[in-house]
Amino acid sequence: MCYAVPAQRLYDELVTFGPSFHNAAGTVFLFNDGAVAELKAPDYGIRDPLLGSPFVLDAAFHVACAWGQRYHGFVAFPVGYAARTILYPAQAGRSYWCRIVPAGIRDAGTLLFDIWIYDEGGRLCEVSSGVRMQNIFQDRLQVPAWIRTDRSDDFHILREQAAAFSVVELASLLPFSGRVLSGHEAAVEQKRYPGKRNRYRGARIALKRLVRMLATAGVPDEPTLIETVAPDDVHPACAVPGGAQPFHCSAAHDDRFAIAVGSDRPVGVDVERIRAPLLKGAHVYMTPQELALCACSPLGEEQAAVRVWTAKECAVKASGMSLPASWSGVELKEIGYDRSTVSIRGSMYEAVHATAGDHVFTVIRLTE
Task: CATH 3.10.129.120 in the chain: give the residue spans.
Answer: 3-147
What does the alpha-carbon distance between residue 359 and residue 349 come to, in Å, rounded to a whole number?
Answer: 22
- Alpha helix positions (H), the chain: 7-9, 55-72, 183-190, 197-214, 276-280, 282-285, 288-295, 301-319, 323-329
pLDDT grade for 247, boundaries at 50, 70 and 90: confident
Does domain 156-365 fall under CATH 3.40.50.2300? My reply is no
| Domain 3-147 fold | Thiol Ester Dehydrase; Chain A (3.10.129)
The percentage of residues in the chain with a pLDDT greater than 70, rounded to a whole number, is 97
What does the alpha-carbon distance between residue 314 and residue 324 come to, in Å, rounded to a whole number?
Answer: 13
Tell me the average pLDDT across 317-331: 93
Tell me the average pLDDT across 259-280: 93
pTM of the model: 0.89
pLDDT grade for 246, boundaries at 50, 70 and 90: low
**According to the model, what pLDDT value does residue 36 have?**
97
**According to the model, what pLDDT value does residue 326 have?**
93
pLDDT digits (tens, 9 = 90+) for 24-62: 999 999 998 899 999 999 998 877 888 999 999 999 999
Tell me the average pLDDT across 256-268: 95
Q: CA 133, 8, 179, 260 torsion: positive or negative?
A: positive
- Is the separation of the CB atoms in 251 and 238 below 8 Å? no
Neighbour tally for 261: CB within 10 Å = 32
Tell me which of 130-134, 156-160, 304-308 is least confident.
156-160
Backbone angles phi, psi at 171, to 5 degrees: -65, -20
What does the alpha-carbon distance between residue 311 and residue 318 come to, in Å, rounded to a whole number?
Answer: 10
- Is the separation of the CB atoms in 271 and 354 below 8 Å? no
DSSP 146-205: GG------TTGGGGGT-SEEEEEEGGG--TTGGGG--HHHHHHHHTS-GGGHHHHHHHHH
What does the alpha-carbon distance between residue 278 and residue 310 come to, in Å, rounded to a whole number?
Answer: 10
Tell me the average pLDDT across 155-166: 89
Task: CATH 3.90.470.20 in the chain: give the residue spans.
Answer: 156-365
What does the alpha-carbon distance between residue 219 and residue 303 come to, in Å, rounded to a whole number?
Answer: 40
Asked if residue 153 has pLDDT above 70, the reply is no
What does the alpha-carbon distance between residue 347 and residue 243 come to, in Å, rounded to a whole number?
Answer: 29
What does the alpha-carbon distance between residue 211 and residue 28 come to, in Å, rounded to a whole number?
Answer: 27
